[in-house]
Structure 1
């Protein structure tokens, strides 16, 4: 049975490299050899790699992780030794590894492991991957009508940046409609400032003086005693649990959840 060793170009260290090394170690590999600078310089596009650690520094850092019993330099003598011993060489699946193996390891059994993303290379950048659709875009005329109604409701919002309209529908009829509403007063942001202005979109969404349109409609339904079982609505992350537990069946969005700003 051939002895397996890992040979890799390691420009930086991050969690992906650690997981990759741990996976290789778990498979029985006990030796890691990091490519020497003389081989790295042969790859023209790596001249722009400003993050790149010196191989000796990468060796010291990886060795400190204690994953492999042996961490060394894949210099010319080491590479010649690997060729003469006919060992099984495992390498990350990238252009650097493939070019190195093609030039220096033709007589060895080499496998390329791309199971864990480590870094971008030309092949990964140019790869065309099939898109797996996970959304349904409705062309139903009624859905478009309801979205138009939501847009009309959004015009009444007084938030400085977010105008969101929502509607609850049952059996083809709008049960409730409304927009996001400032609390305690519609003109609060104009008097006291916008509490959301300190955060980027999507961060700390729970910190706001603005009541989401969805939450407002659910509260209004509760106040009026209107059951929501079997209705249809649009959720945002902070209110989707309430939408689900209130009995709402379908959620219809005009745009992605991070595109509520008009």
Structure 2
């Protein structure tokens, strides 16, 4: 197997990372750790004080048997041209690849832990909603599934895409804040509640909230647009959707709780279950 370069951002050590290190150790000819300055440049949020210093991560990797480990600064980016890479599928690494490895071949790996979906999702069969089996709607829903996999939330992963004129204009997932690694550093507040209970208490921004926020930031009008989401929105997100201008909501699982359905329908949002 051809040797590749491993580029890492490791703010916290947990079982997901340790399993990844065991799997990848003999596949990487060189390891680069993204330095603090680059980390700050690649995130919209300030570095978390709970993050492990890059120098300590380097020492740990050495003890785990990794060879040829360097800390990567902006001045060293020229060394990366024309190589094949392994990156962890998390926000800072995705931003790094989008900015500095646009033409490179990348193998994306996950380090995030996942609960058994059947144990954490409360499934409420959708009732009284039109059903769509159209090729386009199923294609868009498949895109929401891809987006959901970017979430670092171990409890549940939600994805959403916003569509205008039959094209995806925004993507979102339920994202831990201030970083993908926050629940691994300080714990996940949702572990203490059942699905649908006390949805105001969470480490994350919901996928729908992320999309509406992105639209505001980028000056994108939501009037008449369509939102596809993996799971029916919570009551809070339903209210945001109702006032956003989104006119079509498509979902693939779950069902309305509390007043979500009533609020959406009162705002003349058409709700469709994609099967």
Length-normalised TM-score, structure 1: 0.47
Q: Tell me which protein shows more strand as a share of its residues.
A: 2
Q: Rg larger in 1 or in 2?
A: 1
Kindly indicate whether structure 1 or structure 2 has the higher relative contact order, using CA contacts under 8 Å at least 6 residues apart. 2
